[in-house]
Amino acid sequence: MKIPPSRKIAHLSLDSPFLLAPMAGFTDFAFRRICRRLGAGLVFTEMASVEGLRRHAAKTLHYLESGEEERPVAAHFYGGDPAAFAEAAAVIESLGRFDLIDINCGCPVPKITRRGAGAALIREPGKIETIVKAVRTASRLPVTVKTRPGTVPAHPRIGEILRAVEDGGAAALIIHGRFARDRHQGEADWETIGEVKEAAAIPVIGNGGIETASGALSALRRYRVDGVMIGRAAIGNPWIFTEAKALLEGTPFTPPSPEERYRVIAEHLRNLYRSKREEARIRGRDQSLAGLASCREFYGHLVNYLAATPGLGELRRKIAHTENPETLLRDIAALLEL
């Protein structure tokens, strides 16, 4: 059945078709809320384990830190056991802070696939269907599946996966257009994403290789998908969501000034620090290490936020030893000549 592109996933109306991809180590609450405010239509948590949630592991619960200002937000899970998914889904619904449950069927990391989770599920469409059904039975939240065209190009599995996901009753399918073998490198196969959209009765979100706002809009229009998910290009540039939405709506976009860039960096780092302190408190660890941990974790974001700024090299060397986020912020302000 052919359905026209829509901004709805189940009952959720998205205010933008450009979505933030789940990225372990990056898409924590501090970053997600910035992306939402700057125009992402839907954001996804870092990957959390259904087994961890089952055990109420502090680390897993921390991955699920969230808040009203980022909604709608999807809880993104990996696992291999339908019963554990069902338990996790019930817990997620009871938290009352999530709008959707997303099942990871694409992570190629051996630590995950060895447990029959992530990309290992690509070889078992029947199990994907069972998991989707288990989650739907356990909770009323809409369910989405994020997957890839297959593990290797010689054996595309996406047709079978689409049927499994639809038969299981999922609300949407998200396709990262690279084969699992290719991890995050090489071209994403958007032609296949477009073909799946043509064949699907549920919304299809495309993902992979989007580098600019105009690239996101072109993919949306050319492949007639219901949404375009952006990963790495949003790191250090959450304004990509503002720009893509402006292009779609034909409204002007002004790139961030150094002051605006600094404001977002400061908000991001301070919230990350707050969150690290809270994590340390919950896990019974030394809270005084939270400064160092947050500066280190912020590194990947910061080098992208400041990619075009002269003098970044020296700051890069300092970050690893900075214990106080406010010291780092002073250095950043100086670099931006504020």
Ligand X SMILES: Cc1cc2nc3c(=O)[nH]c(=O)nc-3n(C[C@H](O)[C@H](O)[C@H](O)COP(=O)(O)O)c2cc1C
Residues interacting with ligand X, by CB under 6 A?
Answer: 21-26, 46-47, 76, 104, 106-107, 146, 176, 184, 207-210, 230-233
Beta carbon nearer to ligand X, 28 or 124: 28
- Structure tokens of 67? 């808040």
Helix (H, G, I), strand (E, B) or coil at 176: strand
In the bound complex, what is the minimum distance in angstroms from residue 173's beta carbon to ligand X?
A: 13
Q: Is the dihedral of CA 262, 267, 272, 274 positive or negative?
A: positive
Beta carbon nearer to ligand X, 24 or 336: 24
Whether 295 is a known active-site residue: answer no
With CB atoms as reference, the residue minimizing the distance to ligand X is 231
Ordered DSSP codes for 58-101: HHHHHHT---GGG-SEEEEEE-S-HHHHHHHHHHHHHHT--SEE
Angle at 16 between CA 12 and CA 21, to 5 degrees: 85
**Residue type present at position 5:** P
In the bound complex, what is the minimum distance in angstroms from residue 314's beta carbon to ligand X?
A: 25
**Residue type present at position 170:** A
In the bound complex, what is the minimum distance in angstroms from residue 151's beta carbon to ligand X?
A: 15
**Residue type present at position 200:** A
Phi–psi pair at 246, nearest 5 degrees: -65, -40
Beta carbon nearer to ligand X, 18 or 262: 18
Beta carbon nearer to ligand X, 16 or 277: 16
Active-site residue identified among 35, 105, 107, 295: 107
> In whole angstroms, what is the distance from residue 207 CA to residue 190 CA?
8
> In whole angstroms, what is the distance from residue 121 CA to residue 138 CA?
20
Ordered DSSP codes for 109-175: -HHHHTTT-GGGGGG-HHHHHHHHHHHHHH-SS-EEEEE-SBSSTTSB-HHHHHHHHHHHT-SEEEE
Beta carbon nearer to ligand X, 72 or 291: 72
In the bound complex, what is the minimum distance in angstroms from residue 284's beta carbon to ligand X?
A: 26
In the bound complex, what is the minimum distance in angstroms from residue 238's beta carbon to ligand X?
A: 13
Q: Which residues are catalytic?
A: 107
